[in-house]
Amino acid sequence: MTFHSTSEESLIWFGIFKESIDSAFDGILITDAVLNEPGPHIVHANPAFCRLTGYSLKEVIGRNPRFLQGPETDRQVIERLRSDLENGRIFEGSTLNYRKDGSSFQMHWTISPVKNEQGETTHYVAIQRDVTEIKKMLSILRHRAVIDGLTGALNRAESETILETEIERAERYESALSLVMLDFDHFKKINDVHGHNVGDMVLTKATELIQSSIRSSDHVGRWGGEEFIIILPQTKVEDAQRRAENIRSCIEAANIHEDLQVTASFGVAGHKRGLDREALVGRADKCLYDAKNTGRNRVCAMTEKT
């Protein structure tokens, strides 16, 4: 885009350009091209920008756009913005900005140079859009894509993905990895006698108990129905067995629903070099089967050597 400094034609073009900017849906700022402090300076802002930020045109003219930044503005994005402009590149990015009333919003914007006939950058045009609601919706969709809707644990697909990642890491760094599988005992009876609402509540409260008993680096996933897995990175099987026993006793002692006795059986397996996801799950599932067949409400483990 080129601005001509004289001629009637350029004045007509400038008027059309300004009218287009002022009628745009997105917020638009025009600044000079002085990148060093105290510049750049705002030379024009359209009505949409004023509505977006709460500032009047009079309040923003002459100011540096940095006044919109705040404590949670992503500094890396701002550094990239400066680098792109200094190197003659069009900038595009998103970060948190702040309105006049102090409220924050997620802004996505592009900044493009405006050049004169000599090819020199004389101004920058920034087109801004509030994407707060879009960001929120994407966050909700991402959450729904990986989280079990009832219990808040990871869903099956995400559990499989994380388990594969942890197996690869254990192989690469020759570190310990353990997998715990647990299944609530006589769960069908709970549903049949007390109803599915109570059954759902048992799963939800028990999951909260499990999640409160693990480290931030561990992962709890709902494998299916009343069956769950716990992925324990950098954990030897003996330690995993002790932790499973602690969770088992906590579930047994918890008053999850009135006088309803809730217990769970556990299978614990340690990773061996060369095992893939299915093989490791199969080892833990075999131990869970053994726990179920030898009295339930107990922990059975398979070591790395077996």
Burial label for 121, CB within 10 Å (0-12, 13-18, 19+), is middle
Which residues form the catalytic set?
Answer: 226
**Which residues have CB under 8 Å from 199's CB, separation 6+?**
187, 190, 191, 226
Query: CA nearest 179: which of 301, 292, 273, 291?
Result: 301
Q: What are phi and psi of 102, to 5 degrees?
A: 95, -10
Query: CA nearest 111: which of 128, 98, 95?
Result: 128
Query: CA nearest 102: which of 141, 69, 142, 135?
Result: 69
Query: CA nearest 45: which of 70, 71, 63, 33?
Result: 63
